[in-house]
Amino acid sequence: MNPGPRARIRRPLIWTSVVAVPLLAGAAIAVPMAASGAVDLPDKTPQELIEFAAASEVEALSGTIEQTSELGLPDLGALTGSMDDAAGEGDSSAQLDDLIALVTGSHTAKVYLDGDSARLQVLDELGERNVYVDEAAREVWYVDSESQSATKLVLPDDEELRDAYGEDAEKPEAGDVLPTPDEMLDDALARLDESTEVTVGTDARVAGREVYELVLAPRTDDTLVGDVRFAIDGETGVALSASVTARGVTEPAFQVAFTQVYFSAPDASVFAFEPGAGLDVTEKDVPLPTEREQGELSTPQDETAPRVVGEGWSAVVELANPGMDAEQRAMLDSLTTAVDGGRVIQTSLMSVMITDDGRILIGAVPTQLLVDVAGR
């Protein structure tokens, strides 16, 4: 099935976990997607709905997004925090923190997007946190007002992308590092193949707008995912809501949605950022992830870069050994279950394995698949 022009090669999407996730802060919320008998959009087949979404040309919007996650993970903050202290800031344990933050808890944020510029903003009890994206300059700023710190991340350029992924690779757009429903849809359409069953669900309302429902279900048992559902705006084709439901249950384990959305260009001032004299500024290059296919591991550009093993519903992210002492290992043992080659935590939608040699494997897959990947 051809998803259309919007579905481009975007393997750098894993940067979302490295760049944008630390901004999100906890807030008890509910994500609204209400089916309504008053909604009766013109019928579309699955292919027509995919093409409608793929043809969306909205480049500017603003709004509020809310996320909820109910995965049943234990509190890993003490473990990953102690790993940071032992191994130093910016290593694999920091990436693990970001991945865990993405899939746990409840979060709310403001989103602003206009062409080459994007911003994600949170106001919480601890202060304001922001991610500023300047696609033209290949820069992402993460700013935390509580700690008075700012991190400047430099994204790979076009030549680096082509070297890593071939001539068809395209540079990331500003919205690629924002955890929005539309970015999740872009990723899903880019990876759509015969391993996925595609259907059209029930018309509904999200953020006061009439939406179609696109349902993607895996045709493999090598995943914990039951289905992924997108609410697609009936006028613009933009995804306004996304949810992931675990196999064998009915309530979503993860969902993110707009509660307010405006399809107009935000004021340019919301994208403006210059680090003040009082900020502690750090600059880093964002490493490209590498891929391992058919058991062969490509050479990473950075030893801390995440590696993607496999593809599609059964893909596994592998992080390098961050280093753990005896105390950290004891803490890990109290949170995990022993398996061949390491210890694991499995929730309704994801599994995490720390191998005996310290590597970290994460995927929406059964425990045994992580064990198999770790042993290759």
In tens digits, the chain (376 residues) has pLDDT values of 444 444 333 333 334 444 444 444 333 333 445 544 578 899 999 999 999 999 998 999 999 998 887 766 555 444 444 444 444 444 444 444 444 554 456 778 899 999 889 998 877 665 678 889 888 888 889 888 878 889 898 877 777 767 766 666 565 666 666 678 988 888 888 888 888 999 999 999 999 999 999 999 999 989 999 999 999 999 999 999 999 999 988 888 888 899 999 999 999 999 999 888 888 999 888 766 555 443 444 444 455 667 888 888 988 988 877 666 677 677 777 778 999 999 998 888 889 898 988 888 988 999 999 999 998 8
Does one domain contain both 305 and 267? no
Pairing of strands 342-346, 337-339: antiparallel
In a domain, 31, yes or no: yes
* 16 inside domain: yes
Q: By residue range, what is the domain housing residue 51?
A: 11-70+105-271
Let me know whether 204 and 353 are in one domain. no
* Cβ-proximal residues to 35 (8 Å cutoff; 6+ apart), any chain: 202, 203, 204
Contact 25, 66 (CB under 8 A): no
* Per-residue CA distances from 69 to 9, 246, 324, 326, 366 (Å): 28, 12, 28, 31, 19
Residue 42 lies in a domain: yes
- Residue 310 belongs to domain with CATH number: 3.30.310
Answer whether 200's CB lies under 8 Å from 45's CB.
yes
pLDDT for the residue 217: 95
* Together in a domain, 208 and 334: no
Between vectors from CA 230 to CA 319 and to CA 199, what angle results, nearest 5°? 110
State whether 174 and 314 are in the same domain.
Answer: no
pTM: 0.76
Give me the number of domains the chain comprises: 2
157 part of a folded domain? yes
Q: Which helix (DSSP H) or strand (DSSP E) does residue 188 occupy?
A: helix 181-190
Q: Are residues 25 and 53 in the same domain?
A: yes
- 189 and 217: one domain? yes
216 and 333 in a single domain? The answer is no
How far apart, in whole angstroms, are the C-alpha atoms of residue 8 and residue 142? Answer: 26
Contact in structure between 316 and 370 (CB atoms under 8 Å):
yes
Q: Which of 185, 182, 191 is nearest to 58 (CA)?
A: 182
Q: Is 195 found in the same domain as 66?
A: yes
Together in a domain, 23 and 115: yes
Is the same domain home to 346 and 205? no
pLDDT at 334: 77
Q: For residue 165, what is the domain's CATH number? A: 2.50.20.10
Residues 293 and 265 in one domain: no
Q: Is 250 in the same domain as 301?
A: no
